[in-house]
Structure 1
């Protein structure tokens, strides 16, 4: 597994430390922004908005989007959606291998240091909260982090997820999935863990053996299962965020995007800027301008944090 190695170039700061008058060299903490939320909540959009407002690069922390392939099924950000912002660990790994949390921590840590060497801010975004949690635990005292949570009420999000799956179906989801079907495929490893691959197993096994009516029923069943399992994933992701906040004591800045998803067109874009993008930019601006010696767990201003 190839990896870019970068030497940290963060300048050192002299501080008095010993009775003898000697001065120790200590490295100021680097700053990292984390963007969390359930699938479909707008995490990617927010991360790109922030990266175009501050000198930043994005590190993907979605355990399925890290693999090559299934761009439609895994809803990877397109080049247009990336808006020229460098993205790391997005579609870079062999889809047939297992990319673990340990692998992520190692490669994300390298990416963070490379981004900091370029004097930019690392923005880590993705729905795999277990990866983010493992990375933050690995941070130790080296980094100061600001965590943003884009929240959408579950009924509204479930409706949106259902609509998005229908759009994926029209965008070539079945054709994209077909090469990943293997009669003896292992759905517990690599990209085949992605929602969509196991759900379409029965359809691909039988599509050439049944009539049109049965084929359509199998297709509808597969799409129904994709929608259901995506909603279950969203609930699981939300539960993990609540655990990080209430049990682990993370200072997570919640911003509600529910109203955005209840609007359309320009009204939705205006609501996104007012309710999500601008408040989050304000939080990040305060975080970046504050002393690097302060605790990463302190409260920052947020217009709609409960």
Structure 2
């Protein structure tokens, strides 16, 4: 598995490694599953794939919410199918919970969907704001509140729903999960100097805007994909939608998007840092690319030769 924050450079490296090790890539990104959301998710194009099979990309329309449990089920199936073809399953991404759930076979809460409760919480957030809903979670499950951003309404409501139905917390449920993996894992993490990463993030957002991010979001809104949908809460979509609907100026939307993406990258790194099995490449950048590629090949060879 190749892990790391947004804009660190996973895509280019993943293609080189997949070709070298006869691998098929499984996307570990919770947003690239959505069709028609290409620019804002930095989705790899068919041409860029260079013939290497990629899975779990463009499998849902934006109105269909995608869950970690669905990812886990599909990931397990794909690992078995790819292995049966004599190829190497290669998971690449930055959505920590998705990747960890697949690595360790997490069991998910038995709490069922309570649409009335969800609607009540959603209405509360609309009336009182995202911070107020986040405060509700902090009162009953401070550990989950610390981990979840106030704008992550869907997961906040799910955590509240678990507490409402089962009298336990999402964080307690997670703490009970096994750390044993059914797989022989090779986890490689990429990171770099924080200032360099943040500059790469800002440059990528500028590039997305040049490539037509505003037109992409406008097209989604015109198709009726409203801002309350899970997909439309993704970085780049909610900020530009707010601009298009007159809530933010263009400059405010871009500034907010860059800030929130920097914060997202920081949360990604915090999540991955507690996965002790990851072998980190700390100074991953263009200048060090050949040397880092050699280090990564050494790590993979050591794991494969066990």
Same fold, judged at TM 0.5 (above): yes
Q: Which residue of 2 aligns with 1:237?
A: 268
State whether residues 21 and 88 of structure 2, in contact with CA within 8 Å, keep that contact through their aligned partners in structure 1: yes
Whole-Å separation in 1 of the counterparts to 2:230 and 2:242: 20
Aligned partner of residue 204 in structure 2, secondary structure: helix
RMSD across aligned positions (CA): 2.1
Whole-Å separation in 1 of the counterparts to 2:249 and 2:268: 28
Whole-Å separation in 2 of the counterparts to 1:88 and 1:48: 13
CA 1:283–1:52 in structure 2 vs 1: closer, same or farther (change >3 Å)? Answer: same
Q: Which residue of 2 aligns with 1:120?
A: 87
Give the counterpart of 1:218 among 249, 260, 265. 249
Where structure 2 has 5 or more consecutive residues not aligned to the other structure, the ranges are 107-179
Aligned partner of residue 249 in structure 2, secondary structure: helix
Matches within 5 A, 1:35-184: 35-138=2-105, 141-181=181-221
CA 1:126–1:116 in structure 2 vs 1: closer, same or farther (change >3 Å)? Answer: same
Whole-Å separation in 2 of the counterparts to 1:102 and 1:206: 36
Q: Which residue of 2 aligns with 1:282?
A: 298
Q: Which residue of 2 aligns with 1:228?
A: 259
CA 1:185–1:89 in structure 2 vs 1: closer, same or farther (change >3 Å)? Answer: closer
Size of the aligned set, in residue pairs, is 233
1:68 deviates by 1.1
Where structure 1 has 5 or more consecutive residues not aligned to the other structure, the ranges are 1-33, 208-216, 245-249, 261-267, 291-306
State whether residues 181 and 197 of structure 1, in contact with CA within 8 Å, keep that contact through their aligned partners in structure 2: no
Give the counterpart of 1:252 among 278, 295, 298. 278
Q: Which residue of 2 aligns with 1:8?
A: none
CA 1:78–1:180 in structure 2 vs 1: closer, same or farther (change >3 Å)? Answer: same
State whether residues 180 and 197 of structure 1, in contact with CA within 8 Å, keep that contact through their aligned partners in structure 2: no
Greater radius of gyration (CA): 1
State whether residues 26 and 75 of structure 2, in contact with CA within 8 Å, keep that contact through their aligned partners in structure 1: yes
Higher strand share: 1
In the superposition, the TM-score normalised over structure 1's length comes to 0.71
Q: Which residue of 1 aligns with 2:117?
A: none
1:189 deviates by 3.5
1:80 deviates by 3.2
